Amino acid sequence: AHFLLWQYGEKFGVIERPPIPVDEILECQLDLHFNFDDLAARLRVPDALGATWVEDRQVVVDESLDPVKHPKKEGRYRFTVGHEIGHWELHRHLCQEDTAQPTLFRGMRKPSIVCRTRSARSRAEWQANAFSAALLMPTDMVARAWRGHRAGASPYAAAREMAELRSRWGLSKEAEPTVEIARDIAREFKVSGQAMQIRLKGLNLICTEATAGLRF
């Protein structure tokens, strides 16, 4: 993901601040075709969020995530586009090398890769999610934003705030509601608060348990 951002910078100019122009990366840098469609009707798969046709160099996102029609879905839309880019960068060779592979390649008229909510825990889906997070929320930009919000790089112990939010919203003890600082930074990157919180946890900037000694 970082290399892809570097390539984009070499060709179109360095991205100095968020949000990452994920649409331009897909269409201008990777030269992929993109559009929205009713994937449930088109693929007869009720929970499809995105699909990629490798041979046609085409990416389609479900119309329910169109940020023009559904502005509140912008973060989810951008993450899905980054997710499809992740599949393109990480997995397209699997489709090209083995056209009989049942889980990824389904022929010219059907998508090579279908991203469904029920398959989110598969290895390929996890990898595409990790790629999207790194692409949309680069480590250096997140660290800079964090220092701006926290006046330093020290991690935030979020256990108390989460407990208060769970109590206020009637959530289970296992739930991890999005804390305020994650929501604030998410707006800068135009991603969901949940996606940003997961990223911040992965960078050891948010601690959801009473654990000391974390460092960025």
How do residues 166-182 score in pLDDT, each as one tens digit?
999 999 988 899 999 99
How many other CB atoms are there within 10 angstroms of residue 194's CB atom? 17
Query: What is the pTM assigned to this prediction?
Result: 0.86
Q: What does DSSP assign to residue 155? A: -
Q: What is the largest CA-CA distance in the chain?
A: 54
Give per-residue pLDDT as tens, 100-112: 444 443 333 577 6
209 has a pLDDT exceeding 80: no
Rounded CA gap, 118 and 111, in Å?
17
Residue 96 — very low, low, confident or very high, per pLDDT cuts 50/70/90?
Answer: low
